[in-house]
Structure 1
Amino acid sequence: MPVAAPPQAAATPPAAPAPAAATPYRVLARKYRPQNFDDLIGQEAMVRTLSNAFASGRIAQAYILTGVRGVGKTTTARILARALNYEPMEGGGGPSLDLSVLGKHCKDIIESRHVDVMEMDAASNTSINDIREIIDGSRYRPVMARYKVYIIDEVHMLSTAAFNGLLKTLEEPPEHVKFIFATTEIRKVPVTVLSRCQRFDLRRVEAGTLASHLSKICAKEDVTVDAEALSIVSRAAEGSVRDSLSLLDQAIAHGGGTVSGEEIRRLLGLADKARVIDLFDALMRGDMPRALGEFRDQYDAGADPAVILTDLAEFTHLVTRLKIVPSSAEDASLVEAERLRGKEMAEGLSMRVLSRTWQMLSKGITEVQQAAKPAQAAEMVLVRLAYASDLPTPDETLRKLKDMPTDGGSAPGPSSGGGAPPPGPVAMAAGGGGARLAIAARSEPMPQRAPQPAAVAGPQLRTFADVVALAVQKRDLLLKHALETNARLVHFEEGRIELAITEGGDPNLVQTLARKLLEWTSRRWLVSLSSKQGAATIAEVAQARREEREDGIRADPLVAAVLAHFPGAQITDVRTREDVAVEALAPMEETGADDGSDDDEGLSPFD
């Protein structure tokens, strides 16, 4: 029996499709994590070593990766596990570092869900029981892949028992097992483990390379960013790729898709580079009001006092580098103000001033970080820097002290006509307190003191011949002979001698002469060895003069007649009448008497 169809219901509009679930946001550090060795930046040495090893089949049983946080240790471990188990989709092949095309196991390894690639965090699995599971599992062959790979992150956190339990398996693992360790504290890993692993030290990424990498990521993310912002982020990361991406992610969110240097400085609490350079310039000029005003403006704008001093220390380091290596101005991470003004200040500041500034800032940063009121502590550090900028260096101070008279005479009385006090200890006091002491000394005469003997000045050495004469005076005949026969003078000035040593001469002559001059003159002389030819030695000059004089004598008719009359006769010595007179009078001058004594103390210093 046919059934009647029900009355047709009114047509209803089709239901709207359900909105697609929003894709959760992935931070830049995860989104742009390298997938193969070509994506790694700044680790060319490691990639080259692994490429050669894989090409020649010299694959180690264990690797250990070390470096600071964020340089890519765990990422490299996953890429290495992927390379060990790489197999094309069509099958075949072997371990390869060419991972441009995904293989059978690549996707699962990248997503950390491959059954034969096991990752373990040693910070939370530190006991021997956790290692025993690895040892037991290593006996069985891999399920799908070529190798069973164990990646142990932060391996230095394992206990001593866990390390000891791993040693045997690590030294002689089954042929299907590979170990990859990662650590930031390589010194905490036992040497017995290190000796069984192939070690790779992952370098900090240079600021210029990091800035270029961040620029490419900003282009992919369609983010507007200026060069100064990239420079600030890359240097703030201190070589860590992950830190730089985290800072960039935060800066993009802060700027709403636009990243500028000013926004980065405000975000990180940094001071403007141009203003830091202005502060440095004011300190080096000793302009304290301008320096304190500039510091207060930066502090009011939100800059941290310790960060301001750190920026000053970084600029001091930059100026020092530019002074030593001018080509470092081509660094891509430098902004234009640092490049131009840094070169200008490197030409105008001495190395001693820059070294002193660095030391004072290094100590001042610690003081500010520990101070209850950091701003006040930072201002006191700046005061010390500004007033130390025109202080004499230690050698200049010693030179001035040596030039001061040491006669401590009595102070002038009221009838002295208001003259300056003698250069005694009271009159040399500096500052306001010193001035008051000097006035008191003039109003109240000091008690009479016995006159102090004047300090005996050291020997004055104005030429190299004076140095040789001093060696004779000190009875150091070995040094005198060495200076006359083995030393070729290249340069001589007060406090500095540059010598070249003849072939076969004493190689320690330079050190010996410097030590003797310090002992004899109570001053430090810089005696250096030169690669230049230098002048003729004293012995060579004397020999040339002797030969010249002998040739002149041979030309004399009387001498020529004597030599002709006595065949075979030779001229063995040439002396003038003045030489004979000096030799005859020298003993009398030395002994102070003409008693005919033949004491060798009376020898002339020129014999």
Structure 2
Amino acid sequence: MDDLAPTPSSDTPDAGYRVLARKYRPATFEDLVGQEPMVQTLRNAFETGRIAQAWMLTGVRGVGKTTTARILARGLNYEIPGEVDRPTVNLDKPGVHCEAIMNGRHVDVIEMDAASHTGIDDIREITEAARYRPASARYKVYIIDEVHMLSKSAFNGLLKTLEEPPEHVKFIFATTEIRKVPVTVLSRCQRFDLRRIDADDIVGLLRRIAQSEAMAVSDEALALIARAGEGSARDSLSLLDQAMAHGAGTHGETEIGAETVRAMLGLADRARVIDLFTHLMKGDAAAAMAEFKAQYAVGADPVVVLSDLAEFTHLVTRLKIVPEAGEEASVTETERLRGRELADRLSLRLLSRSWQILLKGIAEVQAAPKPNLAADMVLVRLAYAADLPDPEEALKLLRDGKASDLAASLPATQNAPPGGSSPQAHAQAPTPAPGAPASVGEKTP
């Protein structure tokens, strides 16, 4: 996918702007990003003639399930008069049926959304129509999206046709909820799990599309978009589309920078997130609260700030265990350098404890009537936890007879009452009553 070209469209020139996810929708197997194992399996099947009767495509949103289904239908019906007259995965040249299939308007490639066609009557129409041969293509292909939405009776009505379909019929199912599909249906299909797309692959895809659009986008901005896309190519392209409108359209810029993307997504500056994390790991609650207040004042979302802290906690943990994690394209230079420094200094126990507090804190902030106040309390909890000694360190101090050092290390002793005494100093034995015998080892006057 070195040279990107817009996907052909039947839209008229004045039909309006096409979003990037549609404009650069993959049209061949080679265009699919991050799905090499599936492509290799299909290539081998087509070359050896071992073509299944039904396929089940599963994966999270935006990884290419429907697009793969259309490309698969295109490969099944690929035809160039005088050159190609058999199913193939080599779709370099446009075939007779290619444009109509990719635009979802071919008479022999029927797409159905199971979310709005859930009943047995809809499946009965398919099973009855499947008996008739295709009008112009080699195969009649049924693409059923979100197949898990079908009712139990609809699934049962499909079983017989799915097990012994006519030779001219192929089924392609797509779903995000594979566990809701009956085993009886799964056993009749070849299953392909489309993987989340790696952040490095998404960054490369976004960079090529930005170049095709003659739009300069900084590497840090691309990394932020790829991270926000969470492995979904469609989500990432939608965010790139939004960034182009937000940056170039609003401010007249010729380059989309990281600041533009942060403003668009409501993110704090990554360096400031790391500053906040550093204050917390030092146990400095006052500095952490001041930094969060400054970020909140410029528009940062409290939930996003805590999510960024959790993400950075995960990165530092990975850097401590797998130092090579810092070389990933989605990791900025600032994150790499400061993350490694923190990884050398912090213990896995503290990082794990911080992660647990952040996960619980995010849920609390989401449910709170005033998220910024709830976030403040989460930060205080984090700073307190960071200031606590590890169990091994506390046990060592006790064994060495340094209980006073242990008491001094506890955050509770920082607010001792006036006079210099600590709560521990008041934990004395009660005075014996007059006439009572003295304790063992206690001298009498």
- TM-score interval w.r.t. the shorter chain? 0.7 to 0.9
Q: Provide the rounded CA distance (Å) in 2 between the counterparts of 1:311 and 1:305.
A: 10
Amino acid in the other structure paired with 2:361: G
Q: Provide the rounded CA distance (Å) in 1 between the counterparts of 2:426 and 2:348.
A: 41
Amino acid in the other structure paired with 2:138: R
Match of 2:416 in 1: 432
| 1:352 lines up with 2:344 in the alignment | no
Match of 1:22 in 2: 14
- How much has 1:182 moved relative to structure 2? 0.3
Change (3 A) 1:441 1:318: closer
- In structure 2, which of residues 22, 29, 34 is the aligned counterpart of residue 42 of structure 1? 34
| 1:162 lines up with 2:146 in the alignment | no
| 1:145 lines up with 2:137 in the alignment | yes
Residues 411-432 of structure 1 deviation map (CA, whole Å, 9 limit, x = unaligned): xxxxxxxxx9xxxxxxxx9553
Q: Provide the rounded CA distance (Å) in 2 between the counterparts of 1:239 and 1:232.
A: 12
- In structure 2, which of residues 163, 167, 175 is the aligned counterpart of residue 183 of structure 1? 175
Change (3 A) 1:93 1:438: closer
Q: Provide the rounded CA distance (Å) in 1 between the counterparts of 2:432 and 2:377.
A: 39
- In structure 1, which of residues 263, 266, 271 is the aligned counterpart of residue 263 of structure 2? 266
Change (3 A) 1:437 1:36: closer
- How much has 1:362 moved relative to structure 2? 1.0
Q: Provide the rounded CA distance (Å) in 2 between the counterparts of 1:392 and 1:334.
A: 31
| 1:219 lines up with 2:211 in the alignment | yes
- In structure 1, which of residues 81, 84, 96 is the aligned counterpart of residue 76 of structure 2? 84
TM, length-normalised to structure 1: 0.65
Q: Provide the rounded CA distance (Å) in 2 between the counterparts of 1:112 and 1:381.
A: 50
Q: Quick one: higher RCO (CA 8 Å, sep 6+), 1 or 2? A: 2
Amino acid in the other structure paired with 2:275: D
Match of 1:59 in 2: 51
Residues 320-345 of structure 1 deviation map (CA, whole Å, 9 limit, x = unaligned): 11111111111011111011111111
Match of 1:380 in 2: 377
Q: Provide the rounded CA distance (Å) in 2 between the counterparts of 1:185 and 1:393.
A: 42
Match of 2:329 in 1: 332
Q: Provide the rounded CA distance (Å) in 2 between the counterparts of 1:452 and 1:58.
A: 91
- How much has 1:292 moved relative to structure 2? 1.4
Residues 254-282 of structure 1 deviation map (CA, whole Å, 9 limit, x = unaligned): 11253111011111110110110111111
Match of 2:87 in 1: 95
- In structure 2, which of residues 374, 387, 405 is the aligned counterpart of residue 390 of structure 1? 387
Change (3 A) 1:152 1:451: farther
User: Secondary structure in 1 aligned to 2:174?
Assistant: strand
| 1:128 lines up with 2:125 in the alignment | no
- How much has 1:224 moved relative to structure 2? 1.6
Change (3 A) 1:251 1:405: closer
Q: Provide the rounded CA distance (Å) in 2 between the counterparts of 1:449 and 1:213.
A: 86
Q: Provide the rounded CA distance (Å) in 2 between the counterparts of 1:25 and 1:452.
A: 92
Q: Provide the rounded CA distance (Å) in 2 between the counterparts of 1:355 and 1:21.
A: 55
- How much has 1:112 moved relative to structure 2? 1.3
Amino acid in the other structure paired with 2:21: A
Q: Provide the rounded CA distance (Å) in 2 between the counterparts of 1:21 and 1:309.
A: 45
| 1:286 lines up with 2:286 in the alignment | no
Change (3 A) 1:405 1:330: closer
TM, length-normalised to structure 2: 0.88
Q: Provide the rounded CA distance (Å) in 1 between the counterparts of 2:295 and 2:402.
A: 48
Change (3 A) 1:99 1:317: same
User: Secondary structure in 2 aligned to 1:360?
Assistant: helix
Unaligned runs of 5+ in 2: 1-11, 249-253, 405-411
- Residues 67-82 of structure 1 correspond to what in structure 2 (within 5 A)? 67-82=59-74
Amino acid in the other structure paired with 2:335: E
User: Secondary structure in 1 aligned to 2:259?
Assistant: helix
Q: Provide the rounded CA distance (Å) in 2 between the counterparts of 1:95 and 1:441.
A: 85
- In structure 1, which of residues 236, 244, 248 is the aligned counterpart of residue 240 of structure 2? 248
- How much has 1:83 moved relative to structure 2? 0.4
- Residues 536-551 of structure 1 correspond to what in structure 2 (within 5 A)? none
Amino acid in the other structure paired with 2:87: P
Match of 2:307 in 1: 310
Q: Provide the rounded CA distance (Å) in 1 between the counterparts of 2:72 and 2:85.
A: 16
Residues 347-384 of structure 1 deviation map (CA, whole Å, 9 limit, x = unaligned): 11111111111111111111111111111111111111
- Deviation larger for 389-398 or 128-137: 389-398
Q: Provide the rounded CA distance (Å) in 2 between the counterparts of 1:316 and 1:221.
A: 36
- How much has 1:286 moved relative to structure 2? 1.8
Change (3 A) 1:23 1:401: same
Change (3 A) 1:343 1:298: same
Q: Provide the rounded CA distance (Å) in 2 between the counterparts of 1:404 and 1:452.
A: 23
- How much has 1:89 moved relative to structure 2? 3.2
Match of 1:198 in 2: 190
- How much has 1:289 moved relative to structure 2? 2.4
The structure with more radius of gyration: 1
User: Secondary structure in 1 aligned to 2:21?
Assistant: helix
- How much has 1:440 moved relative to structure 2? 5.7
Unaligned runs of 5+ in 1: 1-19, 407-419, 421-428, 454-607
- How much has 1:394 moved relative to structure 2? 2.6
Q: Provide the rounded CA distance (Å) in 1 between the counterparts of 2:85 and 2:438.
A: 101
Q: Provide the rounded CA distance (Å) in 2 between the counterparts of 1:214 and 1:276.
A: 25
| 1:277 lines up with 2:274 in the alignment | yes
- How much has 1:114 moved relative to structure 2? 1.1
